[in-house]
A and B are shown apart, each in its own frame.
Chain A
């Protein structure tokens, strides 16, 4: 079974631009969660999608948005990029709702976003 894939792996943008990151979950998984990881803040939860619906949301500004398609693939969009958005963005998938269930969450390798 192929693992969670994320594209692109690396991205460089400038302030004010917008970016879209993509995540393909493991086949059969319906839950996709997004996380931001920085050296200073550690892992922070962005949002979780289950069956195309956002089920949970972290404490991030509205510039961060996402969606999930009928094939469970998910995209995350960040508009009006700021320097502080530079981070590793991780996607994770699981069969059930990740946050409440005890299903294992499988993480992708992440997208390293650098904002100049």
Chain B
């Protein structure tokens, strides 16, 4: 069964600090992995999309990494800002049936 596990479930960090979110998946065969940011009460916004051949992709202060061999991805937030407070969702697409598997998300709270 295709699964996506995210950790931690939630975390609190101080403004200006860095943090790293983890995503482990069992989806096979792998097509692509996406990270989304969802602010409270709003729809998710795409941060990065990575295919098998990509192991790092950045979007401003967000950097995603992918290790397709170990089936792990991470999202690193640099110099966090209050506006980074949100839920971050990892989504993996399978290549054969194109179905999407969603992680439960990591809730990040940035405090001043």
Contact = CB atoms under 8 A, between A and B. Distances in A.
Interface core residue of A43, A97, A109 (most chain B CB under 10 Å)? A43
A56 B91 CA distance: 16
Interface residues of B, number: 22
Given A43-B89, A99-B93, A104 B46 contact: yes
A98 B98 CA distance: 9
A92 B100 CA distance: 13
A100 B98 contact: yes
A107 interface: yes
A64 interface: no
A54 to B, nearest CB: 12
Contacts of A45: 99-100, 102
Interface in A80-113: 90, 92, 97-100, 102, 104-110
Given A42-B104, A100-B93, A102-B32, A56 B45 contact: no
A107 B45 contact: yes
A99 B49 contact: no
A106 B46 contact: yes
A99 B98 contact: yes
